[in-house]
Amino acid sequence: MSTDIDPHQPADEGHREDDDGWGNSHAARMAPGFSGLEAREYRPGSRPGAGYVRRVRDPKAEFRYVDEGLLEATPEADAARGALGKLLGGIKRVLIGRPVASEQESQERTGKLKGLAIFASDNISSSAYATEEIMRVLVLAGVGALALTMPLTLAIIVILAIVVISYRQVIFAYPNGGGSYVVAFQNLGTLPGLVAAASLLTDYVLTVAVSVSAGVEAITSAFPSAFEFRVVISVVLIALMTTVNLRGIRESGNVFTVPTYVYVVAMLGMLGYGFVRFFTTGLPEYHAPPDWLVQHGAGGALTLLLVLRAFASGSVALTGTEAVSNGVPAFKRPEVPNAQIVLVAMGSLFAAIFFGISFLSGHIGIVPDPSEVETVNSQLSRVLVGDGWFFYLIQFSTAVLLILAANTAFNGFPRLASILARDKFLPHQFEFRGDRLAFSTGIIALSLVSILLVIAFGGSVTALIPLYTIGVFVAFTLSQIGLVRHWFDLRQERNWQIRAGVNGLGAVATGIVAIVVAVSKFLLGAWIVLLLIPLLVGMMLAIGRHYNRVKGELEGDIPVTPAAIKHTIIVPVADLNRIAVQTLAYARSISPNVTALHIAQDEESARAFREKWLAWGDKVPLVTIESPYRSVVGPLLRYVDNIDRQDKDDTVTVILPEYVTAHWWEQLLHNQTALRIKAALLFRPGTVVTSVPYHAARHEGHQPAGVGEAK
């Protein structure tokens, strides 16, 4: 009988008692001291697992042996191959630098001075436009209404103080990074967490758009001729910032330290000089251009809504406060005190500058420029220090700081997105780190969306402002409520009432601001954000549900064993040539149950093909389909359907011959049909698709052996 057994015949039924269906013998696996790998080395020359690892010939040192079955890839393994790959790799290296290994991550930490520049620049830079945005609303009720600028400034500084104190407690309670999402999610549940997350994501995007637009406005205040190019300049700046951030946090910190301190020192110096003048010789005289006054006109009524809108506009001053508490793990040890010091320093510096600008602008009587070309700060500097180098220093450092303030968002957005991805509320890609340990997907996503926003709003800060700040205050409020709950849960600890009280006050204050902003700016654009946040929350919930359903589906017992798989293989052949025969041989080496399928346009060519087939030796059964309507994909799919209906338990594999050309352009001349078949089979449940390549000869002389290579 033994000669009747086909050597390729797989055993579908009745495998031996001691077989687990995977071809592994129990005896071998049970033997103590036996490596378990030897048992699987069925024939000489096979090298699975550690057996291979020790014996591998690796002249290029692409892998390092670590342990049984464990290799470590060296940078060699990542090196680009091929001319195009090397070119692209080279460009990438120039733009974002050499790859950084994961274990180098802990070194990527920041001290207090650098930390202030990185995490506080967003908040401090708001002082460049906070006063102006208040004035722009008030002036709608006439120039006289500008007198309310100072009281509103003070109100906002009080809120800021409350927020800073509240957030000192956040840092204390969440030393691993207490973003509003984490705090709300852990203390209040999924939905509040996601609302906070959606609010923050929206706000990060707006931070980039608003900061860059404001920075460009500072430039155009000094150089009005650049005004008409402001959108293009903004887009280029965002692109540059994206590149810097893809290089990683350490270098971006270096880039940002200098301008932050130049701005702070220059502003404090100028404002100090102004106060000295105020208390001694008196402030210099200023007369707003008469046509500005004409354009502002008598103004409408000074309604409560208008005052609230002015307050809401000024509350942009609070944006960016969250950045420090989000970034606690990025600080050098001890992280918590360092972060707290930076937080308080940030609040104090901001408050001082904001107060000074509002106070001096009010006393000098500065009026906002109706055409938006010159900023209030620029006018103030011009009046105080004249048109000299110091004026340009202030304008320039303001511009640079504002542009770099967007960097806070480039830190916060990808970090938050990665946490959301880890929690399965965003696609996996947001969790992966690029060559330089930065969350590349998040950085690129932020960059693209904010560029769209700048273009859509024509790079105007005043147009963007109504969308801004709602997100921040929604997130603030949820995070403070979450913290109240947190302290309540820890109510056996000392002073929990005081801590809960502080955060409760914070929640009330920021909650009121959130409502004021939403109501007073609803029609101006806030509705966009109020619509967007629930949409984002819905999307994140859907993604979360999807990933969870998939996880559930993929878990649990798997009844499939190799022995249980019965193959049915279909090989579409267009012609009987080397590539077809190679593919058929490959198919037959898997299972004897192979059918070649030829689709002909008419009966004549169908019969001619069969003749050719029989002449070749009819080594594999052939089915020819005449397709009178000349389509290939339709009849092929229907044939597979029929095969599948006949024998439901079989696994159908379609094996496609694929000709791979030596040059990419030649590829356009081949495989169009194979591509269409693959696309169609993708949506056919349960069909395995295999591509057997046949590579065109590049050089006649040297040809490697094996299937898939020209001989």
Q: Tell me, what DSSP letter sits at residue 479?
A: H
Q: Is 103 in the site for a copy of itself (CB under 8 A)?
A: yes
CA 321/CA 290 separation, integer angstroms: 39
- Binding part of the chain for a copy of itself, among 309-317, 368-376, 466-474, 641-649 by CB under 8 A, reads 641-649
- 270 versus 419: smaller Cβ distance to a copy of itself: 419
Q: Tell me, what DSSP letter sits at residue 405?
A: H
Q: Is 647 in the site for a copy of itself (CB under 8 A)?
A: yes
> Residue 370: what are its φ and ψ, rounded to 5°?
-60, -25
Q: Is 44 in the site for a copy of itself (CB under 8 A)?
A: no
Task: Compute the least distance from the CB of residue 22 to a copy of itself, in Å.
Answer: 4
- Binding part of the chain for a copy of itself, among 187-195, 286-294, 429-437, 464-472 by CB under 8 A, reads 429-437
- Binding part of the chain for a copy of itself, among 157-165, 201-209, 319-327, 606-614 by CB under 8 A, reads 606-614
Residue type, 190: T
Q: Is 595 in the site for a copy of itself (CB under 8 A)?
A: yes
Find the distance separating the first CA and the last CA of the chain, reported in whole Å: 38
Exactly one of 31, 34, 54, 78 binds a copy of itself (CB under 8 A); that residue is 78
Task: Compute the least distance from the CB of residue 448 to a copy of itself, in Å.
Answer: 15
CB within 8 A of 584, min separation 6: which ones? Answer: 571, 573, 594, 596, 619, 620
Judge contact between 112 and 257, C-beta under 8 A. Answer: no
Exactly one of 147, 373, 550, 679 binds a copy of itself (CB under 8 A); that residue is 550
How do 651-660 and 567-572 pair as beta strands?
A: parallel
- Reported as type and span, the H/E element at residue 277 is helix 249-279
Q: Is 692 in the site for a copy of itself (CB under 8 A)?
A: yes
The string of DSSP codes covering 313-369 is HHGGGGTTTHHHHHTGGGBPSSHHHHHHHHHHHHHHHHHHHHHHHHHHHHHHT----
Q: Is 610 in the site for a copy of itself (CB under 8 A)?
A: yes
Exactly one of 282, 553, 615, 701 binds a copy of itself (CB under 8 A); that residue is 553
Q: Is 97 in the site for a copy of itself (CB under 8 A)?
A: no
Q: Is 100 in the site for a copy of itself (CB under 8 A)?
A: yes
Considering only residues 293-322, where is the footprint of a copy of itself by CB under 8 A?
Answer: none
* Strand intervals (E) in 74-114: none
- Binding part of the chain for a copy of itself, among 146-154, 268-276, 305-313, 681-689 by CB under 8 A, reads 681-689
Q: Tell me, what DSSP letter sits at residue 697?
A: P
Quick count: other Cβ atoms within 10 Å of Cβ 296? Answer: 18
For 585, the token pair is: 């041989």
Exactly one of 139, 162, 622, 677 binds a copy of itself (CB under 8 A); that residue is 622
Binding mask 657-676 for a copy of itself (x = CB under 8 A): --xxx----x-xxx-x----
Considering only residues 469-508, where is the footprint of a copy of itself by CB under 8 A?
Answer: none
Q: Is 26 in the site for a copy of itself (CB under 8 A)?
A: no
Could you tell me the CA-to-CA distances from 521 to 62, 275, 308, 418, 444 in Å, in that order? 59, 34, 9, 31, 30
Judge contact between 518 and 530, C-beta under 8 A. Answer: yes
Binding mask 431-460 for a copy of itself (x = CB under 8 A): -xxxx-------------------------
> Residue 31: what are its φ and ψ, rounded to 5°?
-55, 120
Judge contact between 637 and 680, C-beta under 8 A. Answer: yes
Exactly one of 186, 505, 593, 676 binds a copy of itself (CB under 8 A); that residue is 593
Judge contact between 74 and 63, C-beta under 8 A. Answer: yes
- 191 versus 675: smaller Cβ distance to a copy of itself: 675
- Binding part of the chain for a copy of itself, among 176-184, 185-193, 278-286, 573-581 by CB under 8 A, reads 573-581
Q: Is 618 in the site for a copy of itself (CB under 8 A)?
A: yes
